[in-house]
């Protein structure tokens, strides 16, 4: 017999996408900044009314990968941070993690709206808010725009699949745990049917749902890992089959695995290679596991996470997902070697509207990819490029990657900064570190404060340390304690 509060809740949300993630209490409160988890505000217009939390390892350099991790229903960003294992590998392998959070203000059970076209479509609602979080991380942390990944559990998994379909130009890979195929449901009424048994569509029909989410996009497509328990009676295993059919069709590689093997925790892995022989889709089927994210508590290299409600002690899915994406430094997602990063990337000159770059040649490169603020802007064949149409007095971040004959980009170079000439007169600000952060002139991580733009270390985050910051151009701050003139 359900307690009265649960009876009332079930009557009120019987038609919503519950996904079975009911905690002991269904009143979800905003996550608090626990340990290294910090809330980020002002990341964009936020049309989906989400909250942004972020974990950044101490000393993380610019140009690091970025992972977006989406919680399940009735969970919080803090719960996912605490139990999923992502912080362990962020520290070990060096990447930033963004934990979006929705609340009961959006959905009675704090589920991401994977079934709502106004929330999970490109440029709309929660999906747009998450894309803004990615862009904020690229701008504020210098995250590598070519190595952005999204993962999620249950409703978060359904939203992750929708994001991969709606923003394949943003996400290089994804992982869906106990989740739904992209665009399985486009209304609240259809959500329950997807959970217990998605439509019996052909792989091409499933693939069309992805292709229709961003019409005209021609690739490359994200690499997708799919995690599913055989005893999941909340999101049935048929969803994992539909996900496999969907993404193998998008990749054009068929539904027969290239290889299979057995992993810990009674887990069977099937690998589906692309035309170049690299894994594009992988399925992980955990025998006997119910509804939740597989974790493997312990201190071993392949262990992670904490067993809790809907974090199930079987296998560390986070480890295998990270290796599949290449976050461990093992080359391209799924294996294989990438060309090394170009050395000697240098800004050779700037004007009001241009920035000129050069770099050393990489053996085996057929061309190069130039990225401005994490977005690809050019594919020169040689080792120099001049970016045009820029704004005067503005800071731009550039990285370069070598591209081999198959079109695969190699490791991205170290980031360089170009500041175009002209623009507004410099401004000076003298304040405590706390006040600089509050005013948006600096950020804090690991207890220290860093000036926005220059990333200069300003010391401890408190009201006792005071610095003068010089802003020139807009949004770019340097320490000017010895004297600051406008």
Name the active-site residue from 154, 317, 413, 472.
154
| 210 three-state secondary structure | helix
Strands 148-153 and 173-177: parallel
Nearest by Cα to 226 from 182, 195, 256, 258: 182
Number of H helices, E strands in the chain: 11, 25
Rounded to 5 degrees, φ, ψ at 140 are: -85, -30
Q: List C-alpha distances in Å: 330 to 33, 64, 88, 242, 327.
A: 32, 15, 17, 29, 7
Q: Is 364 in a helix, a strand, or coil?
A: coil
- What 3-state DSSP class applies to 149? strand
Reduce the DSSP state of residue 451 to 3 states and report it: strand
Give the count of alpha carbons within 13 A of 461, CB side only.
12
Cα Rg of the chain (Å, integer):
23
Is 269 in a helix, a strand, or coil? strand
**CB under 8 Å to 484, separation ≥6 — which residues?**
426, 428, 468, 469, 470
Residue 325's SS3 state is helix
- Mode of pairing for the β-strands spanning 466-471 and 477-479: antiparallel
Structure tokens at 186: 């486009």
Task: Give the burial string for 77-100 (b: 16+ CB within 10 Å, else e).
Answer: bbbbbbbbbbbbbbeebebbbbbb
Residue 269 CA to residue 276 CA, distance in Å, equals 20
Backbone torsion region of residue 453, taken as left when φ is above 0, otherwise alpha when ψ lies between -120 and 50, otherwise beta:
left
Concatenated DSSP letters for 223-253? Answer: EEEEEEETT-SSS-THHHHHHHHHHHHHHT-
Is 187 tagged catalytic?
A: no
Only one residue has tokens 């053996």, namely 363
How far are the Cα atoms of 93, 109, 163 from residue 243, in angstroms, in the given order?
A: 28, 24, 14
**Residue given tokens 């009001």 in the structure block:** 352
Look-up of token digits 């559990």? 153
Phi, psi of 156 (to 5 degrees): -65, -35
Could you please report the per-residue DSSP string of 8-44?
Answer: HHHHHHTTS--TT---SS--PPPPP--TTEEEE--SS
Residues carrying an active site annotation = 154
């Amino acid at each position: 017999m359900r307690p009265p509060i649960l009876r009332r809740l079930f009557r009120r949300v019987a038609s919503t996408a519950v996904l079975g993630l009911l905690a002991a209490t269904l009143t979800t409160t905003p996550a608090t900044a626990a340990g290294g988890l910090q809330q980020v505000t002002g990341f964009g217009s936020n049309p989906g009314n989400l909250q942004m939390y972020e974990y950044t390892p101490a000393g993380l350099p610019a140009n690091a990968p970025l992972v977006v991790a989406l919680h399940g229903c009735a969970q919080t960003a803090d719960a996912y941070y605490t139990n999923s294992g992502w912080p362990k590998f962020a520290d070990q392998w060096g990447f930033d993690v963004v934990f979006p959070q929705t609340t009961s203000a959006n959905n009675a059970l704090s589920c991401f709206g994977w079934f709502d076209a106004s929330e999970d479509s490109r440029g709309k609602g929660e999906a747009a808010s998450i894309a803004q979080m990615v862009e904020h991380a690229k701008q504020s942390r210098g995250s590598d725009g070519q190595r952005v990944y999204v993962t999620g559990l249950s409703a978060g998994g359904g939203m992750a699949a929708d994001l991969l379909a709606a923003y394949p130009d943003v996400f290089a890979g994804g992982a869906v745990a106990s989740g739904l195929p992209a665009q399985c449901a486009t209304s609240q009424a259809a959500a329950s049917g997807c959970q217990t048994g998605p439509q019996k569509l052909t792989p091409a029909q499933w693939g069309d749902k992805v292709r229709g989410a961003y019409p005209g996009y021609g690739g490359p497509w994200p690499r997708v890992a799919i995690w599913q328990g055989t005893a999941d009676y909340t999101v049935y295993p048929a969803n994992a089959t539909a996900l496999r059919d969907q993404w193998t069709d998008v990749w054009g590689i068929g539904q027969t695995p290239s290889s299979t093997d057995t992993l810990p925790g009674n887990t069977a892995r099937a690998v589906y290679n692309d035309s170049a022989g690299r894994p594009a889709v992988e399925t992980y089927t955990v025998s006997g596991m119910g509804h939740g994210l597989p974790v493997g508590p312990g201190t071993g290299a392949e262990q992670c996470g904490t067993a809790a409600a809907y974090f199930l002690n079987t296998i560390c899915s986070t480890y295998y997902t990270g290796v599949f994406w290449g976050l461990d430094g093992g080359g391209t997602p799924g294996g294989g070697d990438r060309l090394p990063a170009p050395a000697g990337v240098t800004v050779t000159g700037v004007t009001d509207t241009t920035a000129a770059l050069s770099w050393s040649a990489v053996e085996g490169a057929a061309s190069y990819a130039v990225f401005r603020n994490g977005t690809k802007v050019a594919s020169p064949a040689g080792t120099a490029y001049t970016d045009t149409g820029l704004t005067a007095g503005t800071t731009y971040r550039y990285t370069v990657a070598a591209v081999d004959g198959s079109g695969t980009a190699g490791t991205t170079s170290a980031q360089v900064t170009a500041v175009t000439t002209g623009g507004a007169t410099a401004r000076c600000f003298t304040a405590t570190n706390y006040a600089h952060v509050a005013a948006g002139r600096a950020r804090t991580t690991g207890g220290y404060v860093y000036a926005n733009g220059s990333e200069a270390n300003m010391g401890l985050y408190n009201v006792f340390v005071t610095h003068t910051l010089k802003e020139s151009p807009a949004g770019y701050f340097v320490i000017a304690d010895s004297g600051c003139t406008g």
